[in-house]
């Protein structure tokens, strides 16, 4: 027993002494070499190979795109129908948007609005119908097990809307209230009025609905618009999710069997370049901030310049913090709440838009305009640096790749590109075309599209607080927030 006590005491003493000694850590087999960030090997460029999307044309004329994804038991349907608000009857703006609005909220000839809503809620499904300038749109999101029911309701809404009078009255009331409130937000005033300045009031992209227009819309207008423009032979449909192409073709054919093709009228061709002349335009608004927009017409859709313009946009003003506009106007001068600049092939695809916009303090309005114009002018003069063009390209490519991260986006974009007339290899050729843009290309398109002699400058703000006379930037026209027919002549 004594011997055991001695062993325990010896062991305790050994543990005590060991705890007092410095700890010796095991040396790694080899120490990693510290590298300066400049010495790191650059990351490999992102590769983008979109999965193939099945495409076919159904017997009634629907152009169908299908991309299978079995990760979740969900099916998504996106639809575009050529036409849109550009096809409003003469003298009756708003008919197209009312048609789409009442189709969804008004139910069908077979399902009342309440039954449609309750059924969709029970299925946890979403069904929407909308209207844009160039197309009507529809969307369905539903569980795979309920896809037949959901697709049947979507087909019923598109083919057999009821257009009940009470839902038309309801939408008229909501629309009038929206019109009455549309001048509350200076930013929205600027967005709406700038389109009118650049394109002219007659352009569908700049058209403005008035209270009297709402009163003129009738149920017969909606029925006639739907009968004329909602046809399968001008319809594009993208289906993605837990469904095979064979299943999609069979189910769409069955659900839309009663939808017959018919000739639709030719799309209208609005007159081009009917906007207001270059100069300065002011909408008086008693606020302590100024909403400023400047620009002109922009890029035509499908123009070969689109790739060089995309890179130029990133350097000029699309990259909010890294762009020349962002750095000079916001970071260096502290003049902006927001600032951006971009050349687009929309909203009017035949002439696009160049837009630079900024929000600033009212007492910095003139200074901000001066700085914005100097940045615009510099784009065609100041050399493009290696860092600028490299950063711009990588930003565009990364954004492009990640914008197609889901099957729904890939299928929907394939549909949209086909709808807009892009070649089938557009997605796969986009990145190489961006990579091929040179610094000279950027300067060339900057000189072509960022022309200060063509600038229309619109300021929405309180002239009593401005830090200078807007007339110093060109002929000045005062515009009321509404009714462009009362515009005053330049002074």
Q: Which of 255, 270, 303 is the last residue of a domain?
A: 255
List, for residues 292-351, the tens digit of each pLDDT value.
Answer: 999 999 999 999 999 999 999 999 999 777 899 999 999 999 999 899 999 999 999 999
Residues 379 and 324 in one domain: yes
Q: Are 344 and 350 in contact (CB under 8 A)?
A: no
* pLDDT of 24 over the 80 cut: no
Cα 306 from chain centroid? 17
Residues 289 and 189 in one domain: no
Residues 243 and 330 in one domain: no
Q: Which of 239, 255, 271 is the last residue of a domain?
A: 255
Name, in order, each residue with C-beta under 8 angstroms of 217's C-beta and a sequence gap of 6 or more: 92, 94, 95, 98, 168, 172
Residues 111 and 191 in one domain: yes
Task: Decide if 116 is inside a domain.
Answer: yes
Task: Decide if 348 is inside a domain.
Answer: yes
* pLDDT of 19 over the 60 cut: no
> CA 142, CA 145: separation in Å to the nearest integer?
8
Beta bridge partners of 54: 66
Kindly state the tokens that stand for 148: 């037949």
Residues 210 and 75 in one domain: yes
Task: Decide if 60 is inside a domain.
Answer: yes
Q: Are 82 and 71 in contact (CB under 8 A)?
A: no
Per-residue pLDDT averaged across 270-298, rounded?
Answer: 93
Task: Decide if 451 is inside a domain.
Answer: yes
Q: Per-residue confidence at 5, pLDDT binned at 50, 70, 90?
A: very low
Cα(first)–Cα(last) distance of the chain, in Å? Answer: 115
Residues 414 and 325 in one domain: yes
Task: Decide if 232 is inside a domain.
Answer: yes
Average pLDDT of every residue of the chain: 89
Per-residue pLDDT averaged across 177-201, rounded?
Answer: 94
| Domains contained in the chain, number | 2
> CA 137, CA 129: separation in Å to the nearest integer?
6
Check residue 176 and give its pLDDT.
96
Task: Decide if 13 is inside a domain.
Answer: no
- Ranges of H-type helices in 330-385: 365-378
Out of 63-77, 154-168, 398-412, pick the least confident: 398-412
Q: Shortest CA distance to 141 belongs to which of 242, 27, 12?
A: 242
Range of the domain at 318: 279-486
Residues 318 and 218 in one domain: no
Residues 352 and 460 in one domain: yes
Residues 375 and 337 in one domain: yes
Task: Decide if 400 is inside a domain.
Answer: yes
Give the rounded percent of residues in the chain with a pLDDT score beyond 90. 81
Q: What is the DSSP pairing of strand 54-57 with strand 63-68?
A: antiparallel
* pLDDT of 77 over the 80 cut: yes
* pLDDT of 9 over the 70 cut: no
Residues 251 and 304 in one domain: no
Task: Decide if 246 is inside a domain.
Answer: yes
Q: Which of 240, 255, 270 is the last residue of a domain?
A: 255
pTM confidence score: 0.85
Domain harbouring 399, CATH code: 3.30.830.10
Check residue 483 and give its pLDDT.
52
Residues 207 and 239 in one domain: yes
Residues 212 and 283 in one domain: no
């Amino acid at each position: 027993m004594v011997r055991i006590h001695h062993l325990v005491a010896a062991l305790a003493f050994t543990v005590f002494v060991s705890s007092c000694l410095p700890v010796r850590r095991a040396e790694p087999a080899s120490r990693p070499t510290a590298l300066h960030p400049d010495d790191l090997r650059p990351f490999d460029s992102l590769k983008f190979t979109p999965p193939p999307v099945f495409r076919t044309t159904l017997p009634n004329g629907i152009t169908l795109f299908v991309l299978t994804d079995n990760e979740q038991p969900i099916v998504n349907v996106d639809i575009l129908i050529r036409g849109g608000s550009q096809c409003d009857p003469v003298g009756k703006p708003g008919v197209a948007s009312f048609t789409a609005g009442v189709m969804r909220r008004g139910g069908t000839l077979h399902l009342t609005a309440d039954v449609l809503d309750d059924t969709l809620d029970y299925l946890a499904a979403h069904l929407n119908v909308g209207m844009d300038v160039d197309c009507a749109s529809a969307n369905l999101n539903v569980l795979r097990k309920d896809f037949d029911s959901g697709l049947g309701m979507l087909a019923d809404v598109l083919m057999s809307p009821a257009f009940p009078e009470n839902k038309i009255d309801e939408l008229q009331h909501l629309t009038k209230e929206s019109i009455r409130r549309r001048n509350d937000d200076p930013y929205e005033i600027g967005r709406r009025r700038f389109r009118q300045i650049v394109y002219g009031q007659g352009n569908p992209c700049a058209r403005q609905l008035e209270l009297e227009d709402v009163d003129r819309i009738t149920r017969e207008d909606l029925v006639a618009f739907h009968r004329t423009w909602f046809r399968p032979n001008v319809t594009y449909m993208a289906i993605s999710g837990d469904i095979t192409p064979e299943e999609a073709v069979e189910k769409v054919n069955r659900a839309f069997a009663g939808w017959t093709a018919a000739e639709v009228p030719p799309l209208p061709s609005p007159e081009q370049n009917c906007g207001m002349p270059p100069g300065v335009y002011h909408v008086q608004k008693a606020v302590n901030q100024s909403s400023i927009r400047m620009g002109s017409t922009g890029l035509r859709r499908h123009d070969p310049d689109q790739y060089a313009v995309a890179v130029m946009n990133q350097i000029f003003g699309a990259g909010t913090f890294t762009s020349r506009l962002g750095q000079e106007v916001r970071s260096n001068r502290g003049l902006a709440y927001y600032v951006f600049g971009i050349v687009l092939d929309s909203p009017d695809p035949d002439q696009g838009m160049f837009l630079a916009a900024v929000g600033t303090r009212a007492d910095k309005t003139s200074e901000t305009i001066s700085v914005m114009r100097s940045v615009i002018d510099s784009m065609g003069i100041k050399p493009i640096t290696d860092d600028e063009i490299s950063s711009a390209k990588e930003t565009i490519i990364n954004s492009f790749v990640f914008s197609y991260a889901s099957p729904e986006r890939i299928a929907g974009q394939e549909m949209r590109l086909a709808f807009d007339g892009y070649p089938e290899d557009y997605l796969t050729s986009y990145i190489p075309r961006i990579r091929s843009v040179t610094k000279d290309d950027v300067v060339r398109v900057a000189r072509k599209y960022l022309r200060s002699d063509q600038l229309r400058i619109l300021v929405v703000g309180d002239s009593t607080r401005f830090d200078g006379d807007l007339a110093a930037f060109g002929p000045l026209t005062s515009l009321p927030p509404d009714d462009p027919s009362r515009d005053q002549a330049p002074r």
